[in-house]
Chain A
């Protein structure tokens, strides 16, 4: 229950956000489910007790999910990623940093601010890893297919003169 409830909240929030950005139909449901999955991954890794690592794992989960959903729905990955990363935006960190800045607590402001930056970096790294890997495998696949086609053509060409002679 403790895991399910926040995931449900993030799902509802993502559905509402989809309404704001005009994402409709099944894509809305899939994209919002990504938000719930991301937060579920965050909570699953809570035994590590290191929130930057948790954010990294959840962004990894969300990016893998979004890439898969984009392939399945034949729709740009941007939409899925944008919606399902929303619950991971470190709003609390920014707010508390601002609060410390207003009350003149510079030390706390710096430490909370840098921590928030670290979270953003972890999220970035997760997305980067997954989307680069996907692109790399796509390119390798395409190159191999081209190579194969070239080989086949060469073989056919070499066969033809042989048949003639």
Chain B
């Protein structure tokens, strides 16, 4: 039994779970189950949203420790689901470690939905939320264009690893500008509905549910980190839209 390999695979699963937006509790529990399924009697795991520490005691008493930094995080529920079922499978069937490792790599490298489909998703979120918040059909169409714009900007910023606070400000400012200009051209449009609908693409759904679940499962540190992060994102959105609002008001003296 290669314990180094086991620790490597376990940490990799935990890292991907945290990276793609699972709760800390789930990552720790998955790693713990995997280690005990492969016959480790003593394993200590401490995971945070940015870092995972694992120590596994080998039968001869020599511990193996691995510290793993979680760099960029994004939400990918499909991957969490697949990792979860992989972990379940591994705990019951106990396949050879190299198989799990290959499977984990495959999940990590999977690029997910194709670009047009994701762009359609962004446009659809903006479209449907504008209608949901009481906009009319014309508002929804304009919002779906801002959704596409946000998708394009996010893709660009992610590729060059821009600071997320900065990129959120720019994206929300772009949304604000497009919506205020459109509302200025055609008074029949409701700028506020369009903006509230389009901004839903930037509001991380993770903000409300995940930090709370972390806190109530007693992972206070990660919960606070996520809470601060979501407050920062909300502030960035407000700053961007606010800047666009001030700018257009000064321009047209509304």
Task: Tell me the A residues contacting B by CB distance below 8 Å.
Answer: 6, 9-10, 12-13, 15-24, 27, 74-76, 78-79, 81-83, 85-89, 91-92, 94-99, 101-102, 120, 123-124, 127-128, 131-132
Contact = CB atoms under 8 A, between A and B. Distances in A.
Contacts of B122: 16, 20
Interface stretch (B44-52, B91-99, B160-168, B206-214): B206-214
B75 A75 contact: no
A75 B129 CA distance: 27
B205 interface: yes
- Which applies to chain A's interface (DSSP): helix, strand, loop or mixed? helix
A102 B245 contact: yes
Contact of A16 (B120, B196, B205, B210): B120
Contacts of B129: 9, 13, 87, 91
A91 B77 contact: no
Contacts of A81: 209, 213
Interface string B41-63: 00000000000000000000000
Contact of A83 (B77, B131, B132): B77
Contacts, number: 145
Contacts of A96: 192
B213 A13 contact: no
A132 B212 CA distance: 12
Nearest to B192: A95
B128 interface: yes
A94 B241 CA distance: 11
B128 A10 contact: yes
Contacts of A87: 129, 132
Contact of B133 (A16, A88, A91): A91
30 contacts: A9-B129, A9-B132, A10-B132, A13-B125, A13-B128, A13-B129, A13-B132, A16-B123, A16-B125, A16-B127, A18-B77, A19-B118, A19-B120, A20-B201, A22-B77, A22-B78, A23-B78, A76-B26, A78-B26, A78-B209, A85-B208, A87-B132, A89-B203, A89-B205, A91-B129, A92-B133, A94-B234, A124-B208, A127-B213, A128-B216
